[in-house]
Amino acid sequence: MTSVAAVHTLWTMADGAAGSPLAPDGPGRIPAPHIEYAQLAPTLIVLGAAVLAVLVEAFWPRRGRYYAQVLLSVVALAAAFAAVIGLAAGGFGTTKAHIAAMGALAVDGPALFLQGTILLVSLIAIFTFAERRLDPAAHGRPVDSFAAQGAAVPGGEAEKAAVKAGFTTTEVFPLALFAIGGMLVFPAANDLLTLFVALEVFSLPLYILCALARRQRLLSQESAVKYFLLGAFSSAFLLFGVALLYGYAGTVTYAGIAEVVSDGAKQIDPALADTMGNDALLLIGGALVVMGLLFKVGAVPFHMWTPDVYQGAPTPVTGFMAAATKVAAFGALLRLLYVALPGLRWDWRPVMWGVAILTMLAGAVIALTQTDVKRLLAYSSIAHAGFILAGVIATSRNGISSVLFYLLAYSFVTLGAFAVVTLVRDAGGEATHLSKWAGLGRRSPLVAAVFAVFLLAFAGIPLTSGFAGKFAVFKAAAESGAGWLVVIGVLSSAVAAFFYIRVIVLMFFNEPKADGPTVAVPSPLTMTAIAVGVVVTLVLGLAPQYFLDLAGQAGVFVR
Amino acid sequence: MSFPLLTATAAVPAIGAVATAAVPAAKRTAAKWLALLFSLATLALALVIAVRFDPGAKGPFQLSESHAWIADFGVRYELGVDGISVALIALTALLIPFVILAGWHDADALDHDNANRRWRPTQGLFALILAVEAMVILSFEATDVFLFYIFFEAMLIPMYFLIGGFGDRAGTHDATEGAARRSSAAVKFLLYNLAGGLIMLAAVIGLYAVTADQLGTGTFSLSQIVQARAAGELTMGAGTERLLFLGFFFAFAVKAPLWPLHTWLPGAMGESTAPIAVLITAVVDKVGTFAMLRFCLQLFPEASKWATPVILVLALISILYGALLAVAQRDIKRLVAYASISHFGFIILGIFAMTSQGQSGATLYMVNHGISTAALMLVAGFLITRRGSRLIADYGGVQKVAPVLAGTFLIGGLATLSLPGLAPFVSEFLVLVGTFSRYPVIGIIATVGIVLAALYVLVLYQRTMTGPVRAEVQGMPDLKARELVVVAPLIALLLFLGVYPKPLTSIVNPAVDHTLSVVDRQDPKPDVRVNAEPHEAGSDRDAEAAK
């Protein structure tokens, strides 16, 4: 009965006991929270646009809906990016960095840098979402990569009717906007509840997006179910960890947890008298929360969903997910480890060492046996998660800025690579089996060369952004004394290089097959996406200093 | 600010590569001439470097350029040349026009059965050659370790496409089989070198961590690190220094290549066309031995001395193993490849003997081996194109049908076996003397390599050129004008440098002395100097007697 009484005390205390901050207004009156709307503008713009997009979906005539949605998404993302730039120029990334929205969100360098990256990447990803020239027109109407009607049973009458009527799933745009909104909050979340809410806000739309492929719908739906089930598990773990950490610290804010970790609990909350300051809760809770984040990052042993989901999801969604989710999730992981749990680093660093090594090696080695481009890129993304973890482990300012830089470099390469995958097609849609890519360099040298540039960047060949990023994280790791991690990192890069090179061999040195795929000519949308990917890859490879400076200035978390 | 001569020398071929690649598909011949023009312009600039370079000047590097690049990584765009780099830049710039001329028609067949107008093999071939040239020159010029590393690694990519995309079509009955063999050779080349490079990357990062730790700011500047070491501001623990040394050395030993890391070379040279094989062995591989001299010895002098015994033994094994396998080869190009492995053994022997003769000899050896292998390999390439086979057994009596071809082949071969009077003799002799003065036993065993060289070269000549004229060889045309233009200057150079090596030695010697002073090694017998002609004349007789 004591526990029930304790809970009761908790509520009564909040309700109007003397000394409570709510007391002056009397019981039952909750003051409006103080929200810095201007500083949260990027997130608010995107989420507002998402709500607007739902209304468009409901009321706009079907004929013009596609154009309205594309325009709305692009304008919203561009405006949000402009807001990020404005905040950064206003010094919110450095001197004016602080915690906004009653302690829920941080407005600081890493948050702004990652939000800017996510917005840019999403803007490019929206271009690939909107691409309508790759699939042959159905009944005289241009179609995109998404199912005519998500609710129609694959192969059923309803689907045929939907295709005949020329439906397209314009819902993907509001869904993407909601996901982007969640991703913007995720790396800025400064308490565990906001973290969890943001996770759900960006995950749920992604599950739906994964199920919406126009071709191979069953595979796509299967991937969505797998992603959803495993994602739900990881969310549950994360939530459980949040509960345990609350039990340990008596608060869900990062700063509060960090304080309890370093100084011990000063004021024991009577409701939590049995649990506060109990290290077992801290360790288990911390591990569960980190596990939830490592799942989103795709680190071994929480990577199982990656290949199936990457393969089954519509390729534009895969590209978006692979690039933006990774940025958001690493941002959140960094903030959690650096702001909430720095006092625990002697505990989490060895574990992260193990995870990083496993992730690098498993990603690189399993990728060797893949025969599908999208699965190959999935395992490559796992290996890259391992490289980024090497920077996370550094626990230094250089570690933060190197991870920020790596994420910027990596996300554009990934997006570009998946955009190229959408171009290579045969009668059954995208030809993702590697054997079909043989001799692509002879048929369409330009597309093959562009893909080769992305592969070389993945492999970390000098003069590409991949090399600068890899060098930055390994340098940070080496400076923090993780020399052997670096050695394992370069060895797994050597393994990884092998399978990237194998694709290049296939494209350039193998004779093209007679019934091989053709390269579709995309609209300027996808072309822009690919061109931006190439330009960013080369610029970050040749002259990375400006962006390293940016990441360096952004490399301080606000507490 | 003075004219950035070093940058320009690398920029000209880089611009040439872009320009050549941009030539429309129909204008194949124009692309060839454009590439040749750019390579000649590069040669002219390289000669300007050689003239402007003052061997007597103080300081390790001349014509230096230095600009900020990636401050976060402590990386600067720093170029500079010493005598060794001048010699090797000149060699590179000299050989590329011949490589282009010799490969004039190598992509024609590809272009012929090419229905797709967007795929432009000819433009691709020459653009890639120029790209390799630009990167090789930059890696000879870079005095910043990171900058060097970037070009050292990046040059693998165009090289890889050259090997895999334009391979030798002689001797393969079936196009797919040939393609498979070529691509596997290319992949092997890339994987070996990439693995070496990545291990070096770990060492490069380690070097940064050490300098950042001790100097406050991390740096990759070679001269800054050498100065800091001399001043005692930078001290590495023996263990750290050795690990870093091994990381660097591993990459260079793969590139050079040193036994047992050599196995990629015979495949890569065998499967690529003769001009590309020349590019690999005479130009690109030199970056490996050059980097041993410039980076391994100067950055890690103590570790270099520590590793010397093992490296000398490996070099010795390379010399003998390469020569023995060359004797056993049935394929002309693979024979030259194994001969090159043997020669790289000599170069590494000379470098790590740590005597001024040894290192001067090694540097001259790099240049001379480049010229002599180019001569031998390119003539062999002409021969193989005519007959369509790489097997020694498919030839016989070529001498009677194509005497000029046979004659030039013989001179190239004799240079390879270091006949006195031809350039390689001088360098091989210096290496042996330099080694002998410090390590007599190793010097004596290495001499066996010369005997074996005579065996594989002369047996090759005898089997292909002499004897009864085989039916398939009947009517083989002799060297054409273009081919003579390629071969004649190389042979003239071999003769000239064989008789009068002073222009080279006078450039190289101060740089070698500087390297040795950094390593803190004195010659055992300081009175033997390289450019003392009378002494050399006398030693010629010794060497002949030794044979």
> Can you give the pLDDT at residue A543?
87
Name every chain A residue with its beta carbon within 8 A of the beta carbon of B213. 479
B306 at A interface, C-beta within 8 A: no
A380-393: average pLDDT: 92
Interface confidence, given as ipTM, is: 0.81
> Confidence band (pLDDT; 50, 70, 90) for A7?
very low
A487, B202: Cβ pair inside 8 Å? yes
A559, part of any domain: no
| CA proximity to A543, closest of B32, B71, B123 | B71
Give the tens place of pLDDT for each residue, B38-63: 999 999 999 998 888 888 777 778 88
Task: Please check whether residue A398 lies inside any domain of the structure.
Answer: yes
The residue segments making up the domain with residue A294 are 34-135+171-553
**pTM of the complete model:** 0.86
For A52-80, write each residue's pLDDT tens digit: 999 999 998 888 888 999 999 999 999 99
* Residue A161 covered by a domain: no
Residues A402 and A411: their CA atoms lie apart, in Å, by 14
Residues of B in contact with A474 (CB under 8 A): 201-202, 205
Does the beta carbon of A486 lie under 8 angstroms from any beta carbon of chain B? yes
Task: State whether residue B57 sits within 8 Å of chain A by CB.
Answer: no
Mean pLDDT of A238-248: 93
**What angle in degrees, to the nearest 10, is found between the helix axes of A483-509 and B156-165?**
30
In DSSP notation, B109-167 reads: HHHHT---TT--HHHHHHHHHHHHHHHHHHHHHB-BHHHHHHHHHHTHHHHHHHHHHS-
> Cα dist. B114→B25, B31, B123 in Å?
11, 17, 13
Give pLDDT, residue B1.
Answer: 52
* Residue A15 within any structural domain of the chain: no
Q: Does A2 touch chain B (CB under 8 A)?
A: no
Residue B182 has pLDDT above 90, yes or no: no
- The band of B438, judged by pLDDT with boundaries at 50, 70 and 90, is confident
pLDDT digits (tens, 9 = 90+) for A501-558: 888 888 887 777 777 777 888 888 899 999 999 999 999 988 888 898 888 888 888 8
Q: Does B543 touch chain A (CB under 8 A)?
A: no
Residue-level pLDDT at B227: 83
Could you write out the DSSP letters of every residue in A429-454? EE--BGGGGTTHHHH-HHHHHHHHHH
Q: How distant is the alpha carbon of residue B417 from its chain centre?
A: 17
How far is the C-alpha of A181 from the C-alpha of B140, rounded, in Å? Answer: 51
B481-513 pLDDT, tens digit per residue, is 888 888 889 899 888 988 888 888 888 888 888
Residues on chain B touching A490 (C-beta within 8 angstroms): 198-199, 201-202
At B468, list the tokens: 């009864």
| Nearest alpha carbon to residue B156 among A400, A2, A467 | A467
pLDDT at position A534? 94
Between A121 and B383, the higher pLDDT residue: A121
- The pLDDT assigned to A146 comes to 85
In the three-class reduction of DSSP (H, G, I as helix; E, B as strand; rest coil), residue A189 is classed as strand
**Which chain B residues are closer than 8 Å to A544 by Cβ?**
70, 72
Most confident among A294-298, B18-22, B512-516 (mean pLDDT): A294-298
Least confident of A306-310, A369-373, B161-165, B300-304: B161-165
Cβ distance A461 to B161 less than 8 Å, yes or no, reads no
* C-alpha to C-alpha distance for A62 and A45, rounded to whole angstroms: 25
A window 456-475, beta carbon within 8 A of B: 456, 459, 461-463, 467-468, 471-472, 474-475
Residue with tokens 């047996």: B459
Which residue of A478, A498, A510 is in closest CB contact with B209?
A478
Burial of B174 (0-12, 13-18, 19+ CB in 10 A): exposed
- Does B164 sit within 8 Å of A497, measured CB to CB? no
Instruction: Output the pLDDT for position A2.
Output: 41
What pLDDT, on a 0 to 100 scale, did the predictor assign at position B172? Answer: 55
A368 and chain B in contact, CB less than 8 A: no
Residue A389 banded pLDDT, cuts 50, 70, 90: very high
Tell me if A472 and B73 make a contact (CB, 8 A cut-off): yes
* B191–A502 CB contact, under 8 Å: no
pLDDT of residue A240: 95
Residue-wise pLDDT for A465-495, tens only, equals 999 999 999 989 988 888 888 889 988 998 8
Size of interface A-B (CB pairs under 8 A): 109
- Residue A529: its pLDDT value, please? 92
B295 touches chain A (CB under 8 A): no
Q: How many domains does chain A have?
A: 1
pLDDT tens, position by position, A79-115: 999 999 999 988 887 888 888 888 889 888 899 999 9
Which chain A residues are Cβ-neighbours of B164 within 8 angstroms?
505, 508-509
Tokens describing residue B181: 């063999």
- What integer best gives the mean pLDDT of chain B? 84
pLDDT at B62: 82
In a domain, A25, yes or no: no
Mean pLDDT of A333-361: 89
Distance CA(A186)–CA(A106), nearest Å, equals 10
Nearest to A490 among B73, B161, B198 (CB): B198
**Cβ neighbours of B132 in A, within 8 Å:** none
Q: Is residue A147 part of a domain?
A: no
pLDDT of residue B28: 80
Q: With CB atoms and an 8 Å threshold, state whether B206 touches A502.
A: no
Average pLDDT, chain A: 86
DSSP string, A448-498: HHHHHHHHHHHHT-TTSHHHHHHHHHHHHHHHTT-HHHHHHHHHHHHHHHH
pLDDT given at position A432 = 83
A414-427 mean pLDDT: 89
For B255-304, the pLDDT digits (tens) are: 888 888 888 888 888 888 888 899 988 889 999 999 998 888 888 888 88
Q: Is A412 within a domain?
A: yes
pLDDT in tens, A115-174: 999 999 999 999 999 988 887 777 777 888 888 888 888 888 888 888 888 788 888 999
Structure confidence at residue A22 (pLDDT): 44
